[in-house]
Structure 1
């Protein structure tokens, strides 16, 4: 599938669009997530709070070469999982527990300015560990996991030991391809946020769903290739929800990125989103005063080649189907 970038009226370097987002770098140890009235779970509240945390300066490891010149350790991006915060959750409808905030970033010559964050409890990590061990016992042979304790769950030493174990588990999982591609890891990384985003979308509260979907897209985009099915689906969900949210300032940027990435996609399951994406962009380009004729020409070409163009689901309807959204 090929498309002329100039014909689509793209006036940006699409390969760097994701890095053009506002800087939301986190300062280690400063996160504080508060519940907001009416949220379906804790996810929307902490994602929004994370986005508002002032940019901090993180320490960067350096080495000194033979000439006495400092050089950054990581010449190429390295995926890092870091537990940056732990808080005690004591709600009426939940057993008291510790919630761990994991920041996921890809650091290289320059630190990742747009980390993703997830918040999980011990039992979530334990479920991931046990699921991977059942499915891939050989690959998980040398992985140790923090044991349950009868007393002292909230002691600083226990929290610190568990945090190190959680980081090790996740870093091991993404190093091994079979573990990285497993449904257990995908569910752990985005299942909770996906389910909440869907509930907000069903309630037509797209403004609440957008930060959850953007965070999921950023997270998956660090772990997988740009055109990996999970990444492309997350991007389509984000485009559809951003377009439906009248307060969103991002639909054009993410729509441009999606069009660019679909140029090299041949996965049949993903092609179901291409026509709805083009049709959404035709409407969006018209409202923005951009030239929509190249997009219309592409739709006509697809129709001539036998693809269904008329009477298709909208992109929002397509990504909201049960098979394309975590249930």
Structure 2
């Protein structure tokens, strides 16, 4: 039997909570389970490292029962567990609701904003956040998508703008349903839901607001908006965890400045794997430096973080930016 040793670091979000347990499994490279593991790696659900001349597959599988141990599971039980994990991955889908709308009247304008809720299906979603968008935001999204997907979107119709009766309850109610259906149709197309434009529609205004607050030193308000944006990013960016890095680093800055040292350290640990994996060179040294400082304050062991920081600072690929994490974060959305 030909076997491989694969060290996987899986991260599947369930209600925005990460759950990890170590499991060890011996897998024949010709078996379907082996290729199932590789399939999940290639789809970006895991980080992996192949270790030479070993006889097992070791992986951290999210969703394992608390206290589970590889020593007490048979191969069949491990296979059953892995099938359940794969099923959880496949079931992560999103639903969209527009439960309400309100009319805003200002001195020179009057418009309707629609409340949008993004819901993770398959299980109870504890992290429900609402955002508000105008019809013009939907229109701008559609125009952006048409630039790259004009043929693919021939059957996806954005509700047309009405010249009269925009503010009647009947028209607003009809448009709520139509706009919700529009988002559902976009999300059903994989090539659309993975675009930066689609994701930015749900997160960009909130992120811009958060960074403006952060630059103004209003860390408590910025933290609240960033946490809301992060919930949406996690739901919309399961295919690309790199999109979370700037937001997580901004959260570290806010939490640290507010004195939440423990939370800042935990958030930094959440950001590090993606920073390493996706080559965020401009974030890596500032984040590691912040983590070492936070670790010292918490009296946590930081030797490995220090060693990694020194290696990054002495990298043969060129000089490393000397800016702090805070200086780097405030440059976003400028």
Q: What TM-score, normalized to structure 2? A: 0.67
> Could you say if the C-alpha distance between residues 77 and 14 of structure 1 is closer, same or farther in structure 2, counting changes exceeding 3 Å?
closer
- Give the match for residue 209 of structure 1: 222
Instruction: Write the distance in 2 (CA, Å) between the matches of 1:309 and 1:255.
Output: 23
Instruction: Write the distance in 2 (CA, Å) between the matches of 1:308 and 1:275.
Output: 13
- Give the match for residue 89 of structure 1: 104
- Give the match for residue 114 of structure 2: 100
Instruction: Write the distance in 2 (CA, Å) between the matches of 1:14 and 1:139.
Output: 32
Relative contact order, CA 8 A, sep 6+: which one is greater?
1
What secondary structure, in the 3-state scheme, does the structure 1 residue paired with 2:245 have?
Answer: helix
Instruction: Write the distance in 2 (CA, Å) between the matches of 1:121 and 1:288.
Output: 45
Unaligned segments of structure 1, at least 5 residues: 6-12, 22-73
Instruction: Write the distance in 2 (CA, Å) between the matches of 1:138 and 1:164.
Output: 24
What secondary structure, in the 3-state scheme, does the structure 2 residue paired with 1:273 have?
Answer: helix
- Choose which of 13, 16, 22 in structure 2 pairs with 1:19: 16
Instruction: Write the distance in 2 (CA, Å) between the matches of 1:285 and 1:18.
Output: 27
> Could you say if the C-alpha distance between residues 170 and 248 of structure 1 is closer, same or farther in structure 2, counting changes exceeding 3 Å?
farther
* Pairwise CA distance, 1:311: 6.0
Query: Higher strand fraction: Structure 1 or Structure 2?
Result: 2
* Conservation of the 8 A alpha-carbon contact between 2:114 and 2:134: yes
Pairs aligned (count): 258
* Pairwise CA distance, 1:284: 1.1
* Higher Rg of the two aligned structures: 2
> Could you say if the C-alpha distance between residues 111 and 309 of structure 1 is closer, same or farther in structure 2, counting changes exceeding 3 Å?
farther
What secondary structure, in the 3-state scheme, does the structure 1 residue paired with 2:16 have?
Answer: helix
> Could you say if the C-alpha distance between residues 4 and 314 of structure 1 is closer, same or farther in structure 2, counting changes exceeding 3 Å?
farther
**1:1-327 mapped onto 2 (5 Å cutoff):** 19-20=16-17, 76-92=91-107, 95-108=109-122, 110-225=123-238, 227-246=240-259, 250-263=263-276, 265=277, 267-268=278-279, 270-306=280-316, 312-321=322-331, 325-327=332-334
Instruction: Write the distance in 1 (CA, Å) between the matches of 2:298 and 2:15.
Output: 21
* Pairwise CA distance, 1:4: 12
Instruction: Write the distance in 1 (CA, Å) between the matches of 2:260 and 2:275.
Output: 26
* Pairwise CA distance, 1:228: 3.1
Q: What TM-score, normalized to structure 1? A: 0.69
CA deviations on 1:198-237 (whole Å, 9 max, x unpaired) are 2212211111111222222221111112653322222222
